[in-house]
Chains A and B, each alone.
Chain A
């Protein structure tokens, strides 16, 4: 969820990459990269390399959420909110139900 939040809110001119995701979410590299791999496999995000490649440092790999991923993420968020609401909603007391 954190990763998808960052990816959703990343502007196109400053796309998210591994280090930035680690910094913003506070998760380690051992968590972020497997999550990115799974999201890539699921087709929720897509990746592309920095172009043109810089001369003085290695190229970065940027990640971007796809339209499918955005839709699925919205659905998942809504489902989560509904689950939470159902969980927090007080159960009707016996005798009070109309």
Chain B
């Protein structure tokens, strides 16, 4: 990992992330990488930031205030409801307990989520990895190697590159790639029968002749022989259009049908 030139926010956030990740995983090497990768000033900032995040003043106060507010709200709800509402519901006391508990839990989650940079960093790492894995899942079983390939890509040149917005963009790019793979697969599947017709002379001839003959038969049945003579141009136009489609398709798909076989061995 190349050491950053100045203690930018980028290096701070990522250094903190790597340190927490290393602490979480119990990996000593990452901590070493972090200490090598950031400057002294950045390290001081990290220490201050860690101390701030570990203060025990914000979280209990926020949680206690959340609990008080939630109890107040639930009491208010109880007061606003008609007295018969509670007495007629045998399990209404569940709500009296569940509302403050759930609200304080929600407050706990929000406060912790906002307070802890570590959580955000870990969430960022997991989000990016999840995006890459989702992309590999979308890409399908035929491309199982992509999971590892994209993991290596996200790991970067050093193999331990920190989380950054660039990585998020790359992960979104993986999603785009996966969708494009699927579109390509779908297009290939759609072209398969068309290619089969274009490659085979018999199928190509049938594709031209069958609709033309069917049109001719229809006209013959309804209009008689005179009708066929009259509509000969239209019937011919159908055949010509279909033949044009075959020729255009062969050119477009770069398909060459096999050479026609000789009628006899002498030829």
Contact = CB atoms under 8 A, between A and B. Distances in A.
Interface of A: 17-19, 22, 28-34, 37-38, 49, 54, 56-61
Nearest to B27: A56
Given A33-B177, A38-B184, A61 B160 contact: no
Nearest to B180: A34
B79 to A, nearest CB: 57
Contact of A28 (B150, B159, B170): B170
Interface string B125-166: 000000000000000000101101111110111011000000
A17 B149 CA distance: 9
Contact of B152 (A32, A37, A57): A57
Contacts, number: 67
B151 A58 contact: yes
B184 A28 contact: no
A57 B156 CA distance: 9
A18 B153 contact: yes
Please list the 3 inter-chain residue pairs (A to B) with the smallest Cβ-Cβ separation, ordered nearest first. A57-B159, A29-B173, A30-B176
A61 B148 contact: yes
Nearest to B157: A19
Contact of A61 (B149, B175, B180): B149
A18 B154 CA distance: 10
Contacts of B152: 17-19, 57-61
A55 B238 CA distance: 65
B256 interface: no
Contact of B181 (A28, A31, A34, A61): A34
B253 interface: no
A7 to B, nearest CB: 16
A29 B29 contact: no
A58 B29 contact: no
B17 interface: no
28 contacts: A17-B152, A17-B153, A18-B153, A19-B152, A19-B157, A22-B153, A28-B173, A29-B173, A29-B174, A30-B173, A30-B174, A30-B177, A30-B180, A34-B177, A37-B181, A37-B184, A38-B184, A49-B145, A54-B159, A57-B152, A57-B155, A57-B159, A57-B160, A59-B148, A59-B152, A60-B152, A61-B148, A61-B149
A38 B188 CA distance: 12
Contacts of B149: 18, 58, 60-61
A34 B180 CA distance: 7
B173 A56 contact: no
B169 interface: yes
Contacts of B170: 22, 28-29
A2 to B, nearest CB: 16
Contacts of B156: 19
